[in-house]
Structure 1
Amino acid sequence: MASLITKDPHISDTINNMGPCRALRGRVNGLGYSPDARLMLYLELVGFVSTAMIWTFNLLYNLISALGERWRPETHTFHLPCGECTVTLEDVALQLGLPIDGSVVTGVSAIAELAALCYSLLGASPNDDESNFLGLKFTWLKANFEHLFVNATEEELMCTARAYIMHVIRGVLMPDVNNNRVHLQYLSLLADFHNVHSYSWGSIVLAILYCELCQTTKPNAVDIGGCLVLLQSWALYRMPFLASVSHKPYVFSLFNR
């Protein structure tokens, strides 16, 4: 394995030299509650109905860590005794139901009147003590949108659906180092529900997962972001024998079978 490394130090060097096993921590933030049934129409309209159901999960970090030890940044593939393999856009589409064609999901250079944007699309905005914000805390989203009134209007349902999707985007699909909030750049993309599906959400989810896996090859890496639910489900589907042993600390050695 060491011969595959062409430049930066790789965690596999530590493993090859009989170093200690490393278990990464996941930067994920699940919602902890399922969406209200009245939101399903809007979630289906925007193409997030499948991912919206990932509100809780049980991640196997020994398995995820072992996969990171086999990742090659040069090729964006896992190097296994049987050959190379990787998570593809097809996997994203089949397992998460996200669109993989369409416009690129990019950030915006500036957002004017942040509070006005929140009031317009969410019907609420953080308090004055958070006036200098560029992102919404997950705790704020949950406190304000977890429960719906029985007589909620269509506008309130749409606002709640946007809040739910915002949490899913940054808490489950694309977690990063700021895993306690979601940037407002995504809120502007949810303004028109009929246009949300035109973005290639699957592409950015896969790209961020690749980037996070590249970061975890560094020997000093301690955590990992990206869509770990996708990574784990892909591994267990492609290599089902791992299901019975993925909770054990020697998962890495199983790839040598």
Structure 2
Amino acid sequence: MNAKDLHPRMLIYLQQSGLFPAIFVCGFKVYLALIQVLIEHWRPKTHTIHFPSGETMITLEDVAYQLGVPMNGAHVVRQNNYEPKTLVYEVLGKVSLSECIDGYRVRMTWLESEFQVTNDEVIFVSRTYLLRLIGGILLPNKSGNFAHT
């Protein structure tokens, strides 16, 4: 689902979350040559990038500025005392199959296929969209097919 395909009520929920500017990240072109140069100049011991003009560091503040997401406010991650299936039902409004959950991670393909925008499910689809945005684009893991709840 692209930013232009979002339901009007979804836009409201996404703006309230503070992550609305991040929905446009999907449309950015990735310049592999630029990333390759950054990787070649990266120094893991000092966590800096060395250029002929000097060294620099990418901070969380830099990333937040580029993505337009807030760094201050309520924590996104909190301690979780729910059973995974209960948590998924409470947040997303649907019971998931056992093979779609691995601990507190939800299979991305299930999120993509299970949720369609209707007036009754806009809040759940908005939460699913945010989960896919965070788990699949902003903070992906090595598995590439699970998002952490």
Same fold, TM-score > 0.5, yes or no: yes
8 Å CA contact 2:25–2:67 kept in 1: the answer is no
1:125 maps to 95
Aligned counterpart in structure 1 of residue 39 of structure 2, from 53, 61, 68: 68
1:78 corresponds to: 49
Deviation at 1:83, TM superposition (A): 0.5
Please, what TM-score do these two structures have when normalized by structure 2? 0.83
Give the drift of 1:123. Answer: 0.8
Q: How does 1:17-166 map onto structure 2 within 5 Å?
A: 33-34=2-3, 35-102=6-73, 106=77, 108=79, 111-130=81-100, 133-145=103-115, 147-149=116-118, 152-153=119-120, 156-166=121-131
**For the aligned residues, what is the CA RMSD?**
2.3
Say which SS state the counterpart of residue 126 (structure 1) adopts: coil
Supply the distance in 2 between the matched residues of 1:121 and 1:57 (Cα, whole angstroms). Answer: 29
Displacement after TM superposition at 1:80 (Å)? 0.5
Instruction: Name the structure where helix makes up a greater proportion of residues.
Output: 2
For this pair of structures, how many residues does the alignment match? 147
Cα separation, partners in 2 of 1:104 and 1:44, compared to 1, 3 Å: closer
Task: Point out which structure has higher relative CO (alpha carbons under 8 A, 6+ apart).
Answer: 1
Cα deviations by residue, 1:45-91 (Å, 9 ceiling, x for unpaired):
11010012223443222221210111112322111110011223342
From the CA coordinates, give the structure whose radius of gyration is larger: 1
Q: Name the amino acid aligned to 1:80.
A: F
Moved over 3 A (4+): 102-108, 128-133
Structure 2 residues without counterparts, runs of 5 or longer: none
SS at match of 2:111: helix
Q: Distance in 2 between matches of 1:96 and 1:83?
A: 25
Mind listing any 5+ residue stretches in structure 1 that lack a counterpart?
1-31, 185-257
The offset of 1:179, in angstroms, is 1.3
More strand by share: 2
SS at match of 1:75: coil
